[in-house]
Homo-oligomer: A and B are copies of this chain.
Protein backbone atom coordinates (compact mmCIF):
# COMPACT_ATOMS: atom_id res chain seq x y z
CA UNK A 1 0.00 0.00 0.00
CA UNK A 2 1.16 3.53 -0.76
CA UNK A 3 0.57 6.23 1.86
CA UNK A 4 -2.76 7.80 0.95
CA UNK A 5 -1.08 11.21 0.67
CA UNK A 6 0.99 9.77 -2.18
CA UNK A 7 -2.12 8.33 -3.89
CA UNK A 8 -3.77 11.73 -3.60
CA UNK A 9 -0.64 13.42 -4.87
CA UNK A 10 -0.73 11.31 -8.04
CA UNK A 11 -4.10 12.96 -8.82
CA UNK A 12 -2.88 16.40 -7.72
CA UNK A 13 -5.15 16.59 -4.68
CA UNK A 14 -3.59 19.25 -2.43
CA UNK A 15 -2.80 18.04 1.07
CA UNK A 16 -4.93 20.78 2.63
CA UNK A 17 -8.07 18.94 1.57
CA UNK A 18 -7.00 15.70 3.25
CA UNK A 19 -8.09 14.62 6.73
CA UNK A 20 -6.09 11.51 7.47
CA UNK A 21 -7.50 8.53 9.34
CA UNK A 22 -4.27 6.67 9.83
CA UNK A 23 -1.78 6.42 6.97
CA UNK A 24 -4.05 4.79 4.40
CA UNK A 25 -7.46 6.41 4.71
CA UNK A 26 -8.52 10.01 4.36
CA UNK A 27 -11.62 12.12 4.37
CA UNK A 28 -11.72 14.79 1.65
CA UNK A 29 -12.86 18.21 2.76
CA UNK A 30 -16.08 19.43 1.16
CA UNK A 31 -14.34 22.60 0.02
CA UNK A 32 -12.43 20.52 -2.55
CA UNK A 33 -15.39 20.08 -4.90
CA UNK A 34 -16.27 23.75 -4.41
CA UNK A 35 -12.74 24.99 -5.12
CA UNK A 36 -12.47 22.76 -8.20
CA UNK A 37 -15.91 23.76 -9.48
CA UNK A 38 -14.60 25.39 -12.66
CA UNK A 39 -12.79 22.25 -13.77
CA UNK A 40 -14.56 20.17 -16.42
CA UNK A 41 -16.19 16.96 -15.21
CA UNK A 42 -14.67 13.62 -16.14
CA UNK A 43 -16.67 10.91 -17.90
CA UNK A 44 -19.09 8.95 -15.71
CA UNK A 45 -19.28 5.18 -16.23
CA UNK A 46 -21.75 2.92 -14.44
CA UNK A 47 -20.82 -0.70 -13.81
CA UNK A 48 -23.92 -2.81 -13.42
CA UNK A 49 -24.76 -6.49 -13.86
CA UNK A 50 -27.19 -9.15 -14.97
CA UNK A 51 -29.47 -10.52 -12.24
CA UNK A 52 -27.40 -11.70 -9.27
CA UNK A 53 -27.05 -15.39 -8.50
CA UNK A 54 -25.66 -17.35 -5.53
CA UNK A 55 -22.43 -17.81 -7.52
CA UNK A 56 -21.53 -14.09 -7.34
CA UNK A 57 -20.99 -11.90 -10.39
CA UNK A 58 -18.05 -9.74 -9.23
CA UNK A 59 -19.49 -6.32 -9.93
CA UNK A 60 -17.37 -4.52 -7.33
CA UNK A 61 -14.35 -6.55 -8.41
CA UNK A 62 -14.89 -5.54 -12.05
CA UNK A 63 -15.40 -1.89 -11.14
CA UNK A 64 -12.10 -1.83 -9.28
CA UNK A 65 -10.25 -3.80 -11.96
CA UNK A 66 -11.64 -1.57 -14.72
CA UNK A 67 -10.49 1.57 -12.90
CA UNK A 68 -7.04 0.03 -12.55
CA UNK A 69 -6.95 -0.94 -16.23
CA UNK A 70 -8.04 2.51 -17.39
CA UNK A 71 -5.15 4.01 -15.44
CA UNK A 72 -2.86 1.41 -16.99
CA UNK A 73 -3.78 2.59 -20.51
CA UNK A 74 -3.22 6.22 -19.56
CA UNK A 75 -6.72 7.34 -18.62
CA UNK A 76 -6.59 8.91 -15.13
CA UNK A 77 -9.49 7.12 -13.44
CA UNK A 78 -11.03 7.06 -9.96
CA UNK A 79 -13.42 4.39 -8.70
CA UNK A 80 -16.47 5.69 -6.78
CA UNK A 81 -17.88 2.89 -4.66
CA UNK A 82 -20.27 2.10 -1.84
CA UNK A 83 -18.90 1.51 1.63
CA UNK A 84 -19.56 -1.87 3.21
CA UNK A 85 -21.91 -2.43 6.12
CA UNK A 86 -20.45 -4.12 9.20
CA UNK A 87 -23.46 -6.35 9.92
CA UNK A 88 -23.26 -8.48 6.76
CA UNK A 89 -19.44 -8.70 7.06
CA UNK A 90 -19.97 -10.45 10.38
CA UNK A 91 -22.89 -12.45 9.03
CA UNK A 92 -23.09 -14.24 5.72
CA UNK A 93 -21.94 -11.91 2.99
CA UNK A 94 -18.37 -11.33 4.03
CA UNK A 95 -16.61 -8.16 2.95
CA UNK A 96 -17.51 -5.96 -0.01
CA UNK A 97 -14.19 -4.66 -1.22
CA UNK A 98 -13.37 -6.73 -4.29
CA UNK A 99 -10.84 -9.53 -4.16
CA UNK A 100 -7.33 -10.70 -5.02
CA UNK A 101 -5.77 -8.30 -7.58
CA UNK A 102 -8.73 -5.95 -7.81
CA UNK A 103 -9.37 -5.03 -4.25
CA UNK A 104 -9.85 -1.96 -2.09
CA UNK A 105 -7.17 -1.35 0.51
CA UNK A 106 -6.97 -1.44 3.49
CA UNK A 107 -9.82 -3.91 3.02
CA UNK A 108 -10.14 -4.99 6.66
CA UNK A 109 -10.53 -1.42 7.86
CA UNK A 110 -12.98 -0.60 5.09
CA UNK A 111 -15.08 -3.66 5.93
CA UNK A 112 -15.05 -2.93 9.66
CA UNK A 113 -15.47 0.55 11.17
CA UNK A 114 -13.73 2.41 8.30
CA UNK A 115 -13.97 6.15 9.04
CA UNK A 116 -17.07 5.77 11.20
CA UNK A 117 -19.66 6.92 8.64
CA UNK A 118 -22.11 4.12 9.37
CA UNK A 119 -21.71 4.61 13.11
CA UNK A 120 -22.50 8.30 12.67
CA UNK A 121 -25.59 7.46 10.63
CA UNK A 122 -26.69 4.97 13.30
CA UNK A 123 -26.26 7.64 15.99
CA UNK A 124 -28.19 10.26 14.03
CA UNK A 125 -30.98 7.78 13.31
CA UNK A 126 -31.29 6.69 16.93
CA UNK A 127 -31.11 10.23 18.31
CA UNK A 128 -34.22 11.01 16.29
CA UNK A 129 -35.92 7.84 17.57
CA UNK A 130 -35.04 8.70 21.18
CA UNK A 131 -36.31 12.25 20.75
CA UNK A 132 -39.62 11.05 19.30
CA UNK A 133 -40.24 8.80 22.31
CA UNK A 134 -39.03 11.52 24.64
CA UNK A 135 -41.44 13.98 23.06
CA UNK A 136 -44.30 11.59 23.84
CA UNK A 137 -42.98 10.99 27.37
CA UNK A 138 -42.70 14.72 28.09
CA UNK A 139 -46.34 15.44 27.26
CA UNK A 140 -46.81 14.70 23.55
CA UNK A 141 -47.61 18.25 22.42
CA UNK A 142 -47.64 17.07 18.82
CA UNK A 143 -50.29 14.47 19.67
CA UNK A 144 -48.25 11.70 18.08
CA UNK A 145 -50.24 8.49 17.62
CA UNK A 146 -48.03 5.86 19.30
CA UNK A 147 -49.57 3.27 17.00
CA UNK A 148 -48.25 5.14 13.96
CA UNK A 149 -44.61 5.92 14.71
CA UNK A 150 -42.98 4.99 11.40
CA UNK A 151 -39.45 5.94 12.48
CA UNK A 152 -37.85 2.81 13.94
CA UNK A 153 -34.35 2.31 15.29
CA UNK A 154 -31.16 1.31 13.48
CA UNK A 155 -28.12 -0.85 14.17
CA UNK A 156 -25.28 -1.97 11.90
CA UNK A 157 -25.61 -5.60 12.93
CA UNK A 158 -27.49 -8.66 11.67
CA UNK A 159 -29.90 -9.34 14.51
CA UNK A 160 -33.25 -10.87 13.62
CA UNK A 161 -34.43 -10.65 17.25
CA UNK A 162 -34.61 -6.88 16.92
CA UNK A 163 -36.84 -6.84 13.83
CA UNK A 164 -40.01 -6.57 15.81
CA UNK A 165 -39.93 -5.48 19.44
CA UNK A 166 -42.01 -3.79 22.09
CA UNK A 167 -40.38 -0.81 23.82
CA UNK A 168 -41.20 1.25 26.88
CA UNK A 169 -41.98 -1.61 29.27
CA UNK A 170 -41.58 -1.02 33.00
CA UNK A 171 -42.37 1.96 35.18
CA UNK A 172 -41.19 5.38 34.01
CA UNK A 173 -39.86 4.11 30.71
CA UNK A 174 -42.27 5.91 28.41
CA UNK A 175 -45.18 4.70 26.35
CA UNK A 176 -45.40 1.02 25.47
CA UNK A 177 -45.56 0.49 21.72
CA UNK A 178 -44.21 -1.69 18.95
CA UNK A 179 -40.96 -0.74 17.29
CA UNK A 180 -38.09 -2.53 15.60
CA UNK A 181 -34.58 -2.16 14.31
CA UNK A 182 -33.45 -1.99 10.71
CA UNK A 183 -29.86 -2.38 9.62
CA UNK A 184 -28.21 1.03 9.26
CA UNK A 185 -27.90 0.77 5.48
CA UNK A 186 -31.71 0.67 5.33
CA UNK A 187 -32.07 3.90 7.32
CA UNK A 188 -33.47 6.84 5.39
CA UNK A 189 -30.61 8.85 6.90
CA UNK A 190 -28.25 6.75 4.76
CA UNK A 191 -30.27 7.44 1.59
CA UNK A 192 -30.45 11.13 2.48
CA UNK A 193 -26.71 11.38 3.07
CA UNK A 194 -26.02 9.68 -0.26
CA UNK A 195 -28.32 11.97 -2.25
CA UNK A 196 -27.37 15.26 -0.55
CA UNK A 197 -25.52 17.96 -2.46
CA UNK A 198 -23.98 19.58 0.63
CA UNK A 199 -24.59 20.00 4.41
CA UNK A 200 -27.42 22.47 3.82
CA UNK A 201 -29.20 20.07 1.48
CA UNK A 202 -28.58 17.29 4.01
CA UNK A 203 -30.27 19.34 6.71
CA UNK A 204 -33.26 20.17 4.53
CA UNK A 205 -33.71 16.57 3.48
CA UNK A 206 -33.47 15.34 7.09
CA UNK A 207 -36.11 17.92 8.04
CA UNK A 208 -38.55 16.52 5.50
CA UNK A 209 -38.39 12.93 6.71
CA UNK A 210 -41.74 11.63 7.97
CA UNK A 211 -41.42 10.03 11.40
CA UNK A 212 -45.00 9.51 12.61
CA UNK A 213 -48.63 10.51 12.24
CA UNK A 214 -50.65 12.43 14.80
CA UNK A 215 -54.07 11.51 16.17
CA UNK A 216 -55.65 13.45 13.28
CA UNK A 217 -53.72 11.35 10.77
CA UNK A 218 -51.38 14.17 9.74
CA UNK A 219 -47.71 13.63 9.02
CA UNK A 220 -45.15 14.54 11.68
CA UNK A 221 -41.75 15.35 10.20
CA UNK A 222 -38.30 15.11 11.75
CA UNK A 223 -38.06 18.91 11.84
CA UNK A 224 -40.98 19.04 14.27
CA UNK A 225 -39.05 16.82 16.71
CA UNK A 226 -36.20 19.32 17.01
CA UNK A 227 -33.39 16.90 16.27
CA UNK A 228 -32.31 18.11 12.85
CA UNK A 229 -29.44 20.40 13.83
CA UNK A 230 -27.96 17.82 16.18
CA UNK A 231 -28.32 15.13 13.52
CA UNK A 232 -26.50 17.38 11.06
CA UNK A 233 -23.73 17.83 13.62
CA UNK A 234 -23.48 14.06 14.11
CA UNK A 235 -23.16 13.67 10.32
CA UNK A 236 -20.68 16.51 9.73
CA UNK A 237 -17.78 14.14 9.02
CA UNK A 238 -19.83 11.29 7.58
CA UNK A 239 -20.88 13.56 4.73
CA UNK A 240 -17.25 14.01 3.63
CA UNK A 241 -16.14 11.45 1.03
CA UNK A 242 -13.50 8.87 1.95
CA UNK A 243 -10.38 8.37 -0.16
CA UNK A 244 -8.63 4.99 -0.21
CA UNK A 245 -6.78 3.04 -2.88
CA UNK A 246 -7.05 -0.18 -4.83
CA UNK A 247 -4.46 -2.97 -4.77
CA UNK A 248 -2.66 -1.12 -7.62
CA UNK A 249 -2.75 2.29 -5.97
CA UNK A 250 -5.69 3.61 -8.01
CA UNK A 251 -7.62 6.18 -5.96
CA UNK A 252 -11.06 5.07 -4.83
CA UNK A 253 -13.72 7.25 -3.26
CA UNK A 254 -15.74 4.93 -1.04
CA UNK A 255 -18.70 6.72 0.40
CA UNK A 256 -22.22 5.79 1.44
CA UNK A 257 -23.99 2.50 0.93
CA UNK A 258 -27.79 2.51 0.96
CA UNK A 259 -29.99 -0.58 0.57
CA UNK A 260 -30.72 -1.38 -3.06
CA UNK A 261 -34.37 -2.36 -2.60
CA UNK A 262 -36.07 0.10 -0.19
CA UNK A 263 -33.44 2.68 -1.19
CA UNK A 264 -31.50 3.48 -4.34
CA UNK A 265 -28.32 1.43 -3.78
CA UNK A 266 -25.72 3.91 -5.06
CA UNK A 267 -22.67 5.54 -3.50
CA UNK A 268 -22.92 9.22 -2.56
CA UNK A 269 -23.58 12.10 -4.94
CA UNK A 270 -20.89 14.11 -3.15
CA UNK A 271 -18.38 11.32 -3.69
CA UNK A 272 -19.25 10.99 -7.37
CA UNK A 273 -19.09 14.75 -7.96
CA UNK A 274 -15.74 15.00 -6.20
CA UNK A 275 -14.34 12.15 -8.29
CA UNK A 276 -15.62 13.78 -11.50
CA UNK A 277 -13.60 16.92 -10.67
CA UNK A 278 -10.43 14.91 -10.06
CA UNK A 279 -10.33 12.31 -12.81
CA UNK A 280 -10.82 11.95 -16.53
CA UNK A 281 -12.99 8.88 -15.98
CA UNK A 282 -15.04 7.89 -12.92
CA UNK A 283 -16.17 4.29 -12.64
CA UNK A 284 -19.05 3.70 -10.24
CA UNK A 285 -21.48 0.89 -9.47
CA UNK A 286 -25.04 0.35 -8.26
CA UNK A 287 -26.61 -2.43 -6.19
CA UNK A 288 -27.98 -5.75 -7.50
CA UNK A 289 -28.66 -6.23 -11.23
CA UNK A 290 -29.39 -3.54 -13.78
CA UNK A 291 -33.18 -3.91 -13.37
CA UNK A 292 -32.86 -2.43 -9.88
CA UNK A 293 -29.38 -0.88 -9.71
CA UNK A 294 -29.03 0.81 -13.08
CA UNK A 295 -32.66 1.91 -13.20
CA UNK A 296 -32.33 3.62 -9.81
CA UNK A 297 -28.92 5.04 -10.63
CA UNK A 298 -30.42 6.68 -13.72
CA UNK A 299 -33.92 7.52 -12.47
CA UNK A 300 -33.09 8.54 -8.90
CA UNK A 301 -29.42 9.44 -8.42
CA UNK A 302 -28.70 10.96 -11.84
CA UNK A 303 -32.14 12.60 -12.05
CA UNK A 304 -31.85 14.25 -8.62
CA UNK A 305 -28.20 15.24 -8.93
CA UNK A 306 -28.30 16.25 -12.59
CA UNK A 307 -25.52 13.77 -13.40
CA UNK A 308 -25.03 12.65 -17.02
CA UNK A 309 -23.75 9.09 -17.29
CA UNK A 310 -21.56 8.58 -20.35
CA UNK A 311 -21.47 4.80 -20.55
CA UNK A 312 -22.41 1.59 -18.80
CA UNK A 313 -20.64 -1.74 -18.41
CA UNK A 314 -22.78 -4.82 -17.81
CA UNK A 315 -20.96 -7.53 -15.85
CA UNK A 316 -21.92 -11.07 -16.78
CA UNK A 317 -20.48 -14.46 -15.92
CA UNK A 318 -20.75 -17.77 -17.68
CA UNK A 319 -22.05 -19.25 -14.44
CA UNK A 320 -24.75 -16.63 -14.00
CA UNK A 321 -25.94 -17.18 -17.58
CA UNK A 322 -26.23 -20.91 -16.98
CA UNK A 323 -27.97 -20.30 -13.65
CA UNK A 324 -30.45 -18.05 -15.42
CA UNK A 325 -30.79 -20.84 -17.96
CA UNK A 326 -31.98 -23.23 -15.27
CA UNK A 327 -28.82 -24.93 -13.97
CA UNK A 328 -28.64 -25.37 -10.19
CA UNK A 329 -25.73 -23.89 -8.29
CA UNK A 330 -23.92 -27.18 -7.65
CA UNK A 331 -23.76 -27.96 -11.39
CA UNK A 332 -22.59 -24.60 -12.71
CA UNK A 333 -19.00 -25.75 -13.28
CA UNK A 334 -19.71 -27.99 -16.30
CA UNK A 335 -20.25 -26.60 -19.79
CA UNK A 336 -23.90 -26.39 -20.83
CA UNK A 337 -24.47 -24.53 -24.08
CA UNK A 338 -28.22 -24.98 -24.01
CA UNK A 339 -28.55 -23.37 -20.58
CA UNK A 340 -26.18 -20.62 -21.69
CA UNK A 341 -28.41 -19.87 -24.67
CA UNK A 342 -31.50 -19.63 -22.48
CA UNK A 343 -29.71 -17.52 -19.88
CA UNK A 344 -28.46 -15.13 -22.56
CA UNK A 345 -31.99 -13.72 -22.71
CA UNK A 346 -31.38 -12.19 -19.28
CA UNK A 347 -28.30 -10.35 -20.57
CA UNK A 348 -30.03 -9.19 -23.73
CA UNK A 349 -32.92 -7.67 -21.79
CA UNK A 350 -30.58 -5.75 -19.50
CA UNK A 351 -28.64 -4.43 -22.51
CA UNK A 352 -31.83 -3.27 -24.21
CA UNK A 353 -32.96 -1.62 -21.00
CA UNK A 354 -29.78 0.38 -20.54
CA UNK A 355 -30.04 1.59 -24.12
CA UNK A 356 -33.54 2.89 -23.35
CA UNK A 357 -31.85 5.47 -21.12
CA UNK A 358 -29.73 6.61 -24.07
CA UNK A 359 -26.53 5.31 -22.49
CA UNK A 360 -23.93 3.41 -24.57
CA UNK A 361 -23.21 0.00 -23.05
CA UNK A 362 -20.64 -2.77 -23.29
CA UNK A 363 -20.36 -6.19 -21.66
CA UNK A 364 -17.61 -7.37 -19.31
CA UNK A 365 -17.37 -11.14 -18.98
CA UNK A 366 -15.91 -11.70 -15.52
CA UNK A 367 -13.74 -14.73 -16.22
CA UNK A 368 -13.50 -17.83 -14.00
CA UNK A 369 -10.82 -20.50 -14.42
CA UNK A 370 -13.21 -23.26 -15.47
CA UNK A 371 -15.16 -21.25 -18.07
CA UNK A 372 -15.07 -23.12 -21.39
CA UNK A 373 -13.80 -21.25 -24.42
CA UNK A 374 -16.94 -22.03 -26.42
CA UNK A 375 -19.05 -20.53 -23.65
CA UNK A 376 -17.12 -17.27 -23.73
CA UNK A 377 -17.19 -17.17 -27.53
CA UNK A 378 -20.92 -17.71 -27.53
CA UNK A 379 -21.51 -14.68 -25.30
CA UNK A 380 -19.22 -12.47 -27.37
CA UNK A 381 -20.90 -13.59 -30.56
CA UNK A 382 -24.41 -13.04 -29.24
CA UNK A 383 -23.47 -9.53 -28.12
CA UNK A 384 -21.95 -8.79 -31.52
CA UNK A 385 -25.33 -9.61 -33.12
CA UNK A 386 -26.81 -6.88 -30.93
CA UNK A 387 -24.07 -4.45 -31.96
CA UNK A 388 -22.57 -4.54 -28.49
CA UNK A 389 -18.93 -5.19 -27.65
CA UNK A 390 -18.17 -7.83 -25.03
CA UNK A 391 -14.70 -8.20 -23.50
CA UNK A 392 -13.23 -10.77 -21.17
CA UNK A 393 -12.22 -9.40 -17.78
CA UNK A 394 -9.50 -11.27 -15.92
CA UNK A 395 -8.94 -8.60 -13.30
CA UNK A 396 -9.34 -11.06 -10.42
CA UNK A 397 -6.31 -13.06 -11.56
CA UNK A 398 -4.27 -10.35 -13.26
CA UNK A 399 -5.37 -6.95 -11.96
CA UNK A 400 -5.19 -4.16 -14.53
CA UNK A 401 -3.38 -6.42 -16.99
CA UNK A 402 -6.49 -8.61 -17.08
CA UNK A 403 -8.64 -5.65 -18.09
CA UNK A 404 -6.61 -3.84 -20.77
CA UNK A 405 -8.86 -4.80 -23.67
CA UNK A 406 -11.99 -4.01 -21.69
CA UNK A 407 -10.53 -0.60 -20.79
CA UNK A 408 -9.55 0.16 -24.38
CA UNK A 409 -13.00 -0.77 -25.66
CA UNK A 410 -14.57 1.44 -23.02
CA UNK A 411 -12.22 4.32 -23.88
CA UNK A 412 -13.16 4.04 -27.55
CA UNK A 413 -16.83 3.90 -26.68
CA UNK A 414 -16.51 7.04 -24.55
CA UNK A 415 -14.81 8.78 -27.47
CA UNK A 416 -17.03 7.57 -30.28
CA UNK A 417 -20.51 7.04 -28.86
CA UNK A 418 -22.03 10.12 -27.25
CA UNK A 419 -24.50 9.50 -24.43
CA UNK A 420 -28.02 10.78 -24.94
CA UNK A 421 -28.99 10.10 -21.38
CA UNK A 422 -32.51 10.78 -20.21
CA UNK A 423 -34.44 9.26 -17.30
CA UNK A 424 -37.08 6.68 -18.20
CA UNK A 425 -40.08 8.76 -17.18
CA UNK A 426 -40.81 12.44 -16.52
CA UNK A 427 -41.39 13.80 -13.00
CA UNK A 428 -44.98 14.77 -13.74
CA UNK A 429 -46.23 11.29 -14.53
CA UNK A 430 -48.56 9.91 -11.84
CA UNK A 431 -47.08 7.50 -9.30
CA UNK A 432 -49.06 4.61 -10.74
CA UNK A 433 -47.96 5.44 -14.28
CA UNK A 434 -44.34 5.61 -13.14
CA UNK A 435 -44.57 2.13 -11.64
CA UNK A 436 -46.28 0.84 -14.79
CA UNK A 437 -43.59 2.36 -16.98
CA UNK A 438 -40.82 0.59 -15.07
CA UNK A 439 -42.71 -2.70 -14.97
CA UNK A 440 -43.48 -2.67 -18.69
CA UNK A 441 -40.30 -1.09 -20.08
CA UNK A 442 -37.69 -2.60 -17.76
CA UNK A 443 -39.16 -5.71 -16.16
CA UNK A 444 -41.36 -6.52 -19.20
CA UNK A 445 -44.36 -7.50 -17.11
CA UNK A 446 -47.86 -7.07 -18.41
CA UNK A 447 -48.88 -4.57 -15.80
CA UNK A 448 -49.38 -3.99 -12.12
CA UNK A 449 -51.96 -4.89 -9.56
CA UNK A 450 -52.30 -2.63 -6.54
CA UNK A 451 -53.62 -3.80 -3.20
CA UNK A 452 -56.40 -1.55 -1.85
CA UNK A 453 -53.90 -0.32 0.76
CA UNK A 454 -51.38 0.67 -1.93
CA UNK A 455 -54.11 2.34 -3.96
CA UNK A 456 -55.24 4.49 -1.03
CA UNK A 457 -51.70 5.42 -0.07
CA UNK A 458 -50.80 6.45 -3.62
CA UNK A 459 -53.90 8.64 -3.77
CA UNK A 460 -52.98 10.20 -0.40
CA UNK A 461 -49.38 10.83 -1.43
CA UNK A 462 -50.43 12.55 -4.62
CA UNK A 463 -52.94 14.68 -2.74
CA UNK A 464 -50.22 15.63 -0.25
CA UNK A 465 -47.99 16.82 -3.09
CA UNK A 466 -45.54 13.92 -3.39
CA UNK A 467 -46.70 12.76 -6.81
CA UNK A 468 -43.72 14.38 -8.55
CA UNK A 469 -41.17 12.14 -6.80
CA UNK A 470 -39.48 9.28 -8.62
CA UNK A 471 -40.37 5.77 -7.48
CA UNK A 472 -37.93 3.38 -5.80
CA UNK A 473 -38.81 -0.23 -6.53
CA UNK A 474 -38.40 -2.74 -3.68
CA UNK A 475 -38.46 -6.16 -5.25
CA UNK A 476 -36.46 -9.36 -5.33
CA UNK A 477 -33.10 -8.86 -7.07
CA UNK A 478 -33.06 -12.40 -8.46
CA UNK A 479 -35.69 -11.95 -11.13
CA UNK A 480 -37.08 -9.26 -13.40
CA UNK A 481 -40.42 -10.15 -11.84
CA UNK A 482 -41.55 -10.05 -8.22
CA UNK A 483 -40.95 -13.79 -7.87
CA UNK A 484 -37.36 -14.76 -7.12
CA UNK A 485 -37.59 -18.11 -8.92
CA UNK A 486 -38.59 -16.68 -12.32
CA UNK A 487 -35.10 -16.58 -13.82
CA UNK A 488 -33.87 -15.62 -17.27
CA UNK A 489 -36.24 -13.25 -19.04
CA UNK A 490 -39.75 -13.93 -17.75
CA UNK A 491 -42.83 -12.58 -19.48
CA UNK A 492 -46.56 -12.64 -18.84
CA UNK A 493 -46.38 -11.69 -15.19
CA UNK A 494 -48.22 -9.01 -13.30
CA UNK A 495 -46.41 -7.17 -10.50
CA UNK A 496 -48.22 -7.11 -7.20
CA UNK A 497 -47.78 -3.73 -5.49
CA UNK A 498 -48.48 -4.47 -1.84
CA UNK A 499 -47.67 -1.12 -0.32
CA UNK A 500 -46.02 2.22 -0.98
CA UNK A 501 -44.11 4.25 1.58
CA UNK A 502 -42.74 7.75 1.44
CA UNK A 503 -39.07 8.58 1.87
CA UNK A 504 -39.63 12.31 1.78
CA UNK A 505 -36.06 13.18 2.76
CA UNK A 506 -34.44 10.89 0.22
CA UNK A 507 -37.00 12.15 -2.27
CA UNK A 508 -38.65 8.99 -3.55
CA UNK A 509 -41.70 6.82 -3.07
CA UNK A 510 -40.79 3.24 -2.19
CA UNK A 511 -42.90 0.66 -4.01
CA UNK A 512 -43.09 -2.62 -2.09
CA UNK A 513 -43.72 -5.64 -4.31
CA UNK A 514 -42.84 -8.27 -1.71
CA UNK A 515 -41.81 -8.69 1.88
CA UNK A 516 -38.48 -6.87 2.11
CA UNK A 517 -36.48 -7.73 5.23
CA UNK A 518 -34.66 -4.60 6.42
CA UNK A 519 -32.85 -6.41 9.24
CA UNK A 520 -30.90 -9.50 8.17
CA UNK A 521 -30.38 -12.46 10.48
CA UNK A 522 -27.21 -14.43 11.14
CA UNK A 523 -26.70 -17.84 9.50
CA UNK A 524 -25.99 -21.02 11.48
CA UNK A 525 -22.29 -20.28 11.30
CA UNK A 526 -21.77 -16.52 11.04
CA UNK A 527 -18.58 -15.14 9.50
CA UNK A 528 -17.93 -13.74 12.99
CA UNK A 529 -16.99 -17.27 14.09
CA UNK A 530 -14.02 -17.21 11.71
CA UNK A 531 -12.78 -13.63 11.96
CA UNK A 532 -9.76 -13.26 14.24
CA UNK A 533 -6.50 -11.46 14.81
CA UNK A 534 -3.59 -13.60 13.62
CA UNK A 535 -0.20 -13.88 15.32
CA UNK A 536 0.98 -10.68 13.63
CA UNK A 537 -2.01 -8.83 15.05
CA UNK A 538 -3.64 -8.53 11.62
CA UNK A 539 -7.27 -9.25 10.86
CA UNK A 540 -7.76 -12.67 9.29
CA UNK A 541 -10.78 -14.71 8.24
CA UNK A 542 -12.71 -11.74 6.88
CA UNK A 543 -13.71 -12.61 3.33
Contacts and interface: CB of A to CB of B under 8 A. Distances in A.
Interface of A: 19-23, 27, 86, 90, 112-113, 116, 119-120, 122-123, 126-127, 129-131, 133-134, 137-138, 153, 155-170, 172-175, 178-179, 199, 226-227, 229-230, 232-234, 236-237, 521-522, 524, 526-529, 531-533, 537, 539, 541-542
A160 B138 contact: no
A123 B226 contact: no
A127 B19 contact: no
A270 to B, nearest CB: 15
A161 B537 CA distance: 39
A163 B541 CA distance: 35
A317 B343 CA distance: 79
Given A113-B120, A123-B157, A130-B161, A524 B199 contact: no
25 contacts: A19-B22, A20-B20, A22-B27, A112-B233, A113-B123, A119-B122, A119-B123, A123-B156, A126-B157, A127-B157, A129-B159, A130-B157, A133-B159, A134-B160, A134-B522, A138-B524, A160-B172, A161-B173, A161-B179, A164-B169, A164-B170, A164-B173, A165-B167, A165-B169, A233-B532
B130 A159 contact: yes
A468 to B, nearest CB: 29
Contacts of A164: 168-170, 173
Contact of A130 (B158, B227, B537): B158
Nearest to A230: B528
A304 B232 CA distance: 42
A223 to B, nearest CB: 12
A234 B112 contact: yes
Contacts of A160: 133-134, 137, 168, 172-174
Contacts of A130: 157-159, 161, 522
The residue among A165, A167, A230, A526 with the most chain B CB atoms within 10 A of its own CB is: A230
The 9 tightest CB contacts between A and B, nearest first, are A229-B532, A119-B119, A230-B528, A130-B159, A164-B170, A164-B169, A134-B522, A133-B161, A161-B167
Given A21-B21, A134-B526, A173-B163, A232 B533 contact: yes
Q: How many copies does the complex hold?
A: 2
Contact of A20 (B21, B113, B541): B21
A493 to B, nearest CB: 26
B529 A230 contact: yes
A20 to B, nearest CB: 5
A150 to B, nearest CB: 15
A532 B161 contact: no
Q: Chain A interface mostly helix, strand, loop or mixed? A: mixed
A389 B22 CA distance: 45
The residue among A19, A127, A226, A528 with the most chain B CB atoms within 10 A of its own CB is: A528
Contacts of A528: 127, 131, 226-227, 230
A156 B531 CA distance: 25
A188 to B, nearest CB: 18
A529 B157 contact: no
A229 B533 contact: yes
Nearest to A122: B119
A524 B137 CA distance: 9
A420 B19 CA distance: 47
Nearest to A24: B19
Contacts of A529: 226-227, 229-230
Contact of A230 (B158, B167, B233, B532): B532
Contacts of A174: 160-161, 521
Contacts of A123: 86, 113, 119, 156-157
Given A21-B21, A22-B27, A229-B529, 4 more contacts: A131-B522, A229-B533, A230-B531, A230-B532
B531 A229 contact: yes
A9 to B, nearest CB: 17
Nearest to A169: B164
Contacts of A122: 119
A21 B115 CA distance: 9
A318 to B, nearest CB: 34
A395 B537 CA distance: 42
A8 to B, nearest CB: 14
Nearest to A172: B160
A369 to B, nearest CB: 31
A90 B127 contact: yes
The residue among A130, A234, A529, A532 with the most chain B CB atoms within 10 A of its own CB is: A130
Given A123-B113, A169-B166, A533 B137 contact: no
A122 B133 CA distance: 21
A137 B22 contact: no
